Amino acid sequence: MAASRNRAAVTAEEPNRRADIVRAAGRLFHEKGYSATTIRDIAGAVDMQSGSPFYHFKSKHDMLRAVVLEGMSAINKAVAKAANSGKSPRATFEAMLRAHLDQLLGSEGRDFAATLLHESRHLDPEALAEVVVFKDRYETMWQQALKDLKRAGLIADDSKVTRLLLMGALNWTVQWYRPDGSKSIEQIARQLAGFVIGKPQRP
């Protein structure tokens, strides 16, 4: 073949093009929404021609699936680690808040997490079922944390609605948080903890 390229030589420093596509797709799905994002948008963002992403993914839907999977995996891992840290109920809860907000608002994870939250409805039933399984497991983790807080006498109500209202306060931060704003992720987590638990002791 004329003009063959040396494929084997670049293995080590070869950038992961598939991961590039997932990142670009995540950013665009977050910014514009899944339906308003075109394959050409994604391809352009990683300097490819419009047909080339299909070398890595068999469909646009599969790109969404990859983004959502990444979001689920990252947030579950981060929050589970905090949940199992063995600290006091209060410290554990605060660590979970921080972990969740880090994924939601931090530069590494926010596009994946936001796409998970807002674009999952465009998944097909099979992929959606995976999201539902994740959600159930994730919510159980939080419910347990609330239960521990109640047992420790730190909150009065650990009902499901309490958890839902809490998740709302958490997840809505995506709509207003700005990295260059006056509040850090840490500060927001602390304020929310005080909100739920009641006045934090001021030493």
User: Residue 110 CB, nearest distance to a copy of itself (Å)?
Assistant: 16
- In the complex with a copy of itself, which residue's Cβ is closer, 56 or 98? 98
- In the complex with a copy of itself, which residue's Cβ is closer, 7 or 176? 176
Given a copy of itself, DNA, none, residue 176, with its beta carbon under 5 to 8 Å by kind, binds a copy of itself
- In the complex with a copy of itself, which residue's Cβ is closer, 52 or 117? 117
User: Residue 13 CB, nearest distance to a copy of itself (Å)?
Assistant: 38
Given DNA, a copy of itself, none, residue 183, with its beta carbon under 5 to 8 Å by kind, binds a copy of itself
- In the complex with a copy of itself, which residue's Cβ is closer, 74 or 189? 189
Given DNA, a copy of itself, none, residue 173, with its beta carbon under 5 to 8 Å by kind, binds a copy of itself
Torsion of CA 84, 87, 88, 94, to 10 degrees: -70
How is 148-174 classified by DSSP, letter by letter?
HHHHTTS-S---HHHHHHHHHHHHTHH
Q: Confirm if 92 and 83 have CB atoms less than 8 A apart.
A: yes
State residue 157 phi and psi, 5-degree precision: -135, 115
Q: Confirm if 33 and 119 have CB atoms less than 8 A apart.
A: yes
Q: Confirm if 66 and 57 have CB atoms less than 8 A apart.
A: yes
Rounded Cα distance between 60 and 181, Å, is 34
Residues, the chain = 203
Tokens representing 178 are 């700005």
User: Residue 49 CB, nearest distance to DNA (Å)?
Assistant: 4
Q: Which residues are near a copy of itself by CB under 8 A?
A: 32-36, 118, 121-122, 156-157, 161-162, 164-173, 175-176, 183, 188, 191-192, 195, 198-199
- The alpha helices in the chain, defined as continuous H runs, are 17-32, 39-45, 53-56, 60-83, 89-105, 110-119, 125-151, 160-171, 173-176, 185-197
Q: Which residues are near DNA by CB under 7 A?
A: 17, 37-40, 43, 47-52, 54-56, 58-61
Given a copy of itself, DNA, none, residue 52, with its beta carbon under 5 to 8 Å by kind, binds DNA
Given DNA, a copy of itself, none, residue 118, with its beta carbon under 5 to 8 Å by kind, binds a copy of itself
Given a copy of itself, DNA, none, residue 152, with its beta carbon under 5 to 8 Å by kind, binds none
